[in-house]
Structure 1
Amino acid sequence: MHDHPAPVVSDDATARRRPRLEHLMISPRIAFVDVDGTLIETGSEIADSTIEAVRTARHNGHLVYLSTGRASVEIYPAIREIGFDGAISSGGGFAEIGDDLVIERTMPAEAVTRMIGFYEESGYDFYLQSFDELYPSPGVHDRFAEYYASDSRRQAGTASDPASVTGAAANPALKAFADVRPYSLTGIAKSVFLAGDLRAYDRVSEALSADFHVITGTIPHMGRGSGEVTLNGVNKGSTILRLLDRLGLDAASAIGIGDSSNDIEMLQVCGVGIAMGNATDAVKAHADEVTTSVLEDGVWNAFRRNGLV
C-alpha cells in the first residue's frame, strides 16, 4: 500500500540552524514521535539535532507529541524538558494534552488477573504499567540492570559523544523496577513480559491473543523472548485517532515517526508515516517514507522533508 523511497539524506549543520521561512505560513501540523529508537537511541543517547527539530517545529507553530510504549513514569524529566505538547504512553493506553490526562484505556481487573496468572504459570518476568506506576515481578530489575550495564559498556566504546537523557546516575527506571510490591488490578493499560525462552512471544500470543493485542520486537536484545500486551484494539494508532478527534484535527495533517512493531498502527493512521533508518524491514513496509537513523539526524531530516523545520 505504501511506497518505500530511499532514506532522506542528512542536511548540513548550517541548514539545521536556519529555519526554513517559506514553511512558516503553512497550516500547522501535528507530529507523533516514538521515544526508543526514534527520539533517543535505545538506552539514553539523543542527537542534538533531534532536540533542535522538536523545538524548532513547535516554534514554527506545529504540535509535537510523544508516542511511546513507555509508561508516563518512564518518560524521564530530561525527555519531557525538550518540550512537547502532550504524550501518548503505554502503547496507546493513555494520552495527555499538556499535563492533563485526557484518555485512559485500561484493562478490566479480571483481564489483568488472567494475564498475571499466565505469566506466573509460565515462569516469565513481567511488569504492569498504570499511568503513574510500574508493578514489576521480582526478576525484572536484574534483567534490566544487566541490559543497561551492557548498553553503557557499548556506548563507552563509541567515538561519538551524543547527549544522554539519563545523565551519569543509574538509569531511573531501575529504581521503579526494584519496587516489588503487590500488583494493582486496576488502572493497568499494558504489560511487558521478559523471558529467556525465545518461544515466549508465541506462547503468550497463543494464550492471550483472543482478548489481547500481543506484539514482540520492542526490546531489541530480547527478540521473541519479550513483548507487550494491551487490550485488543488498544494501540498507538487507535489512540492517536481519539486524540486527534479531541483536538479537532484531521489525521491527514498528522505525521508519525517510529521504528518498532508498536509503531505500525501509528504509521498506518497518520497522513504521513515515517520509519526510522534503523527500523526493521517489517516496520518500513508500513511507512510512506524512510528517514535516516536515530543518531544520524533522523527526526530532523523527517521534519525538514515535511516542512516542520
Structure 2
Amino acid sequence: MHKPVFLFDIDKTLTNLNREVSPRTKTVLTKLQDQGFMLNVATGRKFQTIYDNILQLFKPDCLHITSGGGEIITTQGNIIWQKKLNPEALEQIYRLSRKFGAKLHFGFDNFYVADNDLLARFKKHNWKVELKPFSYQYYHDLTEVTVHGLNQELNLAFKSLSNITIKTMTAYDGTPYADITAKNVTKATTMKRWARLLNIDLKDVVAIGDSSNDIEMLKLAGQGIAMGNATEDVKAVADEIIGHTNNDGLAKYLEQFIKA
C-alpha cells in the first residue's frame, strides 16, 4: 500500500482562526516528513504571503498549488507551472470592481499590491513582503486577482464573464470576497497536473480543506477530509469530518500516521 500524499488548504485548515500554525501541528508536520510522507499545500493565497510563516514548514522538494490553482511552485517559490489571466479578463475585472466600489489586491515575486483600504489590514498580518498601494501600472501578468467588497450584483456580473473562474468565499471577519483566476483554473483542475508532476495517483492523495473552493479538490482526491469548522457544503462531500482547527483538528488527525 502506498503512503498517502497530503494536500492541505491553509486558512482555517493548516492555520487556526488566529492565522497561526499551532505548535502541535508544526511537530506533526516535521515528524511525518522525517518519516518520508509527502506534504503539500493548495491555497488561494500567493507565494509572497505564505513563504515565511507557512512554506518554511515544508521540505524544499515539495510542490504546492497556489493562487487558487494559478500556479504550481516549489517550497522556495520557483514556478513550475502557471496560467495567467488574459488582458481582456483583467480589464473586465478592473472595470466591474471600480463600478461597484470593490477593492483589489494581487501579488508579484517581491511585492504585494492592494487598494488603500486593504493595506492597513494586511500590514497586521506580518507578511515579510513589501506592500504597495494600488497603481494601474502593476495591473498586468497576473495569475489571480482577489476582490473584496463583493456584493450580489457584482458577483452576478463576474459570473457572466466567460473568460474567468470566480470562487466566492468568506473572510475571517465574515465579509465576502472572490478569488478570480483564468478560465477553468481551480485548485482541482491544477491538482491533476500537480499529481502528474509528482508521478502520483490521485487515489493516493488525502486532501483536507474547509471552504467551498476546496470541494472539487476533496472530491477528486482518494480521500477528502473536511475540518470540523468547514462550511456545510464541504462537509457534505467529505469522506470524513475531523476536529475544529482551533482544537488542533488537523494535528490530531495526522498523528495516526506517525510511526512510533
Same-fold call, TM cutoff 0.5: yes
- Gapped regions of structure 1 (runs ≥ 5): 1-25, 149-169
Q: Deviations over 1:99-130 (max 9, x none)?
A: 33211011112211121111112211111344
Q: Deviations over 1:72-94 (max 9, x none)?
A: 00104132222242321111111
Closer/same/farther in 2, CA of residues 235 and 64 from structure 1, 3 Å limit: same
| 2:9 equivalent to 1:56 | no
Distance 2:133 2:169 in 1: 26
| 2:100 equivalent to 1:106 | no
Which stretch has the larger CA shift, 45-54 or 103-112?
Answer: 45-54
Question: Which of 156, 161, 175 in structure 2 is aligned with 1:203?
Answer: 156
Q: Which residue is 1:298 aligned to?
A: 249
Contact 1:50 1:297 in 2 (8 A): yes
Distance 1:176 1:270 in 2: 36
Closer/same/farther in 2, CA of residues 175 and 193 from structure 1, 3 Å limit: same
Distance 1:308 1:30 in 2: 14
Whichever structure has more strand as a proportion of its residues is 2
Q: Within 5 Å, which residues of 2 pair with 1:29-48?
A: 29-48=4-23
Alignment RMSD, CA only? 2.4
Highest Rg: 1 or 2? 1
Distance 1:294 1:68 in 2: 16
Distance 1:194 1:247 in 2: 34
Closer/same/farther in 2, CA of residues 255 and 203 from structure 1, 3 Å limit: same
Partner amino acid, structure 1, of 2:24 = S
Aligned length: 256
Q: Which residue is 2:42 aligned to?
A: 67
| 2:140 equivalent to 1:171 | no
Cα displacement (A) at 1:97: 3.3
Q: State the TM-score, normalizing by the size of structure 2.
A: 0.87
Cα displacement (A) at 1:220: 3.6
Q: Which residue is 2:54 aligned to?
A: 79
Question: Which of 68, 75, 79 in structure 2 is aligned with 1:91?
Answer: 68
**SS of the residue 1:300 aligns to:** helix
Q: Which residue is 1:137 aligned to?
A: 115
Q: Name the % identity.
A: 23
Cα displacement (A) at 1:297: 2.1
Partner amino acid, structure 2, of 1:115 = I
Cα displacement (A) at 1:201: 5.5
Distance 1:133 1:218 in 2: 24
Distance 1:53 1:260 in 2: 23
Cα displacement (A) at 1:302: 2.7
- Gapped regions of structure 2 (runs ≥ 5): none
Contact 1:291 1:298 in 2 (8 A): yes
Distance 1:300 1:126 in 2: 34
Q: Which residue is 1:27 aligned to?
A: 2
**SS of the residue 1:216 aligns to:** strand
**SS of the residue 1:303 aligns to:** helix
**SS of the residue 2:169 aligns to:** coil
Report which structure shows greater RCO (CA 8 Å, sep ≥6). Answer: 1
Distance 2:45 2:75 in 1: 17
